[in-house]
Amino acid sequence: MEGEHDIPHYGGKNNKFECWNVLWEWGYEDFWPANVIKYLNRAGKKGDPIESRMQDLHKAEDYLVDYISRLTKKDQQEQHKKKKNQYL
């Protein structure tokens, strides 16, 4: 399944002006867990219950996977910065 974040009209994952990238740079890190909760909560509650449940569960998964990836990258950058600063 193509993740919502990967759909071209959203700007592409590597576009610095893509909404998720802008929100992250502005410090809105709570955006990701809030959307995971939103999509889990509404899963199966609209239209065709089976189809909408799966769509919303995949959206929750997209947000969670992206959030973990961003936090991992951020932690790695902070560790690198600490190591670099200990030699200054």
49-86 helix and 31-42 helix, angle to the nearest 10 degrees: 160
Q: Which two tokens stand for residue 9?
A: 């009209």
CA gap 46, 57 in Å, rounded: 13
CA gap 30, 13 in Å, rounded: 19
pTM of the predicted model as reported, rounded to 2 decimal places: 0.79
Please provide the distance, in angstroms rounded to a whole number, between the alpha carbons at the two ends of the chain.
Answer: 47
pLDDT at res. 54: 95
pLDDT at 12 over 90: no
pLDDT one-digit tens code per residue, 58-77:
999 999 999 999 999 999 99
- Three-state SS for 47? coil
Mean pLDDT, rounded, for 20-40: 95
Mean pLDDT, rounded, for 31-40: 97
Between 3 and 38, the higher pLDDT residue: 38
pLDDT at 16 over 90: no
